[in-house]
Structure 1
Amino acid sequence: MDTPYGIAPLPVWERPEPQPRAAPVPLSRAKIATAAIRLADVRGLDGLSIRKLAKELGVGPMRLYDYVLNRSELLDLMVDAVYAQIAEAGRHSEWRATVLDIVHRTRDAALEHEWFVDLLGGRPHLGPHALAVGESTAAALNEAPGVRSIDDLQRVVGALNAFIVGALRREITERRTARSTGTDVTAWQTALGPYLTRMLETGRYPIVARLVIDGAHLDAEETFQHNLTAILDGITGRT
């Protein structure tokens, strides 16, 4: 493909699958992505490499380069396979129900494949399933009462995506920290509770004290739903 910067390979989505080879282990991009996801689910992205994936598949590393040029293309395939799960969200008659379905499926996918959040908010995801999710989300938000122009749509899509990335990264980070340290929220509160109580009793942090003492203590799922509702309410009520 000719570009202003010279000759660049076609994206993996536009390159045809290699011709089948007479080999003990048949391969396809779908099979490679499935195996890579399985490996990353167990070891994380740091534990994923072309060499380790080839061993998992029972082939030589060079064989995989017939299907993906590098690790970045492998990650693209993996991400789009996850988006395929999210893309199963149905189109509802009401815009808000469609958005809720897509966002909750995104959270479910991130909790199942924690490495997925490490790839959110970075490079644009341009695989066919990612584009389908983006289209469904934008089409639904375009029907919201507060969206009257393409500028409005860009802003609400950006706000929703920022919330999703931030909320999921925080939730997954907390899960990882609890696993790596063996300290859950209850244990952390027990350990630091006396210190925090002493600090709040100084009277220097009255609003923080109200948040800690009087605020609702929601679990991760309730917090996610509550904040998502606030985002959608804001979109609905824009003037």
Structure 2
Amino acid sequence: MDTPYGSASLPVWERPEPQPRAAPVPLSREKIAATAIRLADAHGLDGLSIRKIAKELGVGPMRLYDYVINRSELLDLMVDVIYARIGEAGKHPEWRATVLAISHATRAAALDHEWFSDLLGGRPHLGPHALAVGESTAAALSQAPAVRNLDDLQRALGVLNAFLIGAIRREITERRTARTTGTDEAGWQASLGPYLTRMLETGRYPTVARLVVDGAHLNAEETFDHNLITVLDGITST
């Protein structure tokens, strides 16, 4: 296919599946993606390779290249499977309910498939299911009271995406850190309690002291929900 950027092959979603072959193990992109997701769930993206997927499927690695050209295409397929799940949140009559549902579904998907958070915020996700989620989100936000034109919509999408990526990555990072160190956030804070108390008693950090002593200690889900609503309130304000 000739493009403004030179010659390029069709995207993986537009290329037809290879013709069925007489082989002991039938393959499809759906089956390859499902196997890759299982491996990534267990070992992370660093533990994912075409060779490992082929071994899991009981085929030679070269057979997989009939279905995906490279690792990037494999990741594209995997990501779009996750967006299919996110898309199940569906559309709601009111714009805010749609955005809330999609946002919570995105967080839930990332918690179930932590590697997904590693792929947020990079290059755009353009698979059919990702585009469908993007369309639902953009269409919903376009109905927000303060979104009057395309510039407003682009800014609203940017704010929402920045929040989702930051919040989800932070939560996943904390979960990973807790696993690797054997200490959750509460335990880490407790271990530094004496030091922090001494520092706060100097009086040099009065605002930090208020946050530590008097601030509400919400769990991750409550924090996500509260901050998401704050973002939507900002988008709504005129």
Task: Give TM-score scaled by structure 2 length.
Answer: 0.99
Deviation at 1:3, TM superposition (A): 2.3
Instruction: Please tell me whether residue 229 in structure 1 is matched to residue 232 in structure 2.
Output: no
Once the two structures are TM-superposed, the CA of residue 41 in structure 1 deviates from its matched residue by 0.1
In structure 2, what is the Cα distance between the partners aligned to 1:217 and 1:83? Answer: 31
Worse-matched range after superposition: 135-144 or 1-10: 1-10
RMSD over equivalenced CA pairs, Å: 0.7
1:172 maps to what in 2? 172
Structure 2 SS opposite 1:160: helix
Show the counterpart of 1:111. Answer: 111
Matched residue, 2:73:
73
Map residues 118-137 of structure 1 onto 2, 5 A cutoff: 118-137=118-137
> Which letter maps to 1:30?
E
Using the TM superposition, give the Cα deviation of residue 159 of structure 1 relative to its aligned residue in structure 2, in angstroms.
Answer: 0.3
| Partner in structure 1 of residue 209 of structure 2 | 209
Partner of 1:34: 34
- AA paired with 1:111? L
Paired residue type of 1:105: A
Q: Which amino acid aligns with 2:30?
A: A
State the secondary structure of the residue aligned to 2:35: helix
Counterpart for residue 187 of structure 2: 187
**C-alpha distance in structure 2 between counterparts of 1:90 and 1:73, whole Å:** 26
Shift of 1:86: 0.3
SS at match of 2:183: coil
Partner of 1:17: 17
CA distance in 2, matches of 1:171, 1:138: 25
Secondary structure, in 3 states, of the residue corresponding to 2:22?
coil
The C-alpha deviation readout for 1:180-201, integer Å capped at 9, x for no partner, is 0001122111110110111111
- Deviations, residues 156-203 of structure 1 (Å, cap 9, x unaligned): 000000000000000000000000000112211111011011111111
Partners of 1:185 and 1:40 lie apart in 2 by 25
Q: How many residues align?
A: 238
Cα offsets for 1:202-226 (capped at 9, x unmatched): 1111111111111110111010001
- In the aligned structure 1, how far is the partner of 2:201 from the partner of 2:111? 38
Scaled by the length of structure 1, the TM-score of the pair is: 0.98
Q: CA offsets per residue over residues 97-119 of structure 1, 9 Å max, x none?
A: 00010000001000000000000
Alignment partners' CA distance in 1, 2:185 and 2:196: 14
Cα distance in 1 for residues equivalent to 2:191 and 2:91 = 47
What percent identity do the matched residue pairs reach?
81
Unaligned 5+ runs, structure 1: none
Question: SS at 1:176's partner residue?
Answer: helix
Q: In the alignment, what sits opposite 2:89?
A: 89
2:66 match: secondary structure: coil
Label 1:122 to 1:197 Cα distance change in 2 as closer, same or farther (>3 A). same
Taking a change above 3 Å as real, the CA distance of residues 99 and 5 of structure 1, as seen in their structure-2 partners, is closer
What SS does the aligned partner of 2:17 have?
Answer: coil
1:4 offset after TM fit, Å?
3.5
Cα distance in 1 for partners of 2:12, 2:228 equals 34
Instruction: Give the unaligned 5+ runs of structure 2.
Output: none
**Structure 1: how far apart are the matches of 2:153 and 2:132?**
17
Secondary structure at the counterpart of residue 179 of structure 1? helix
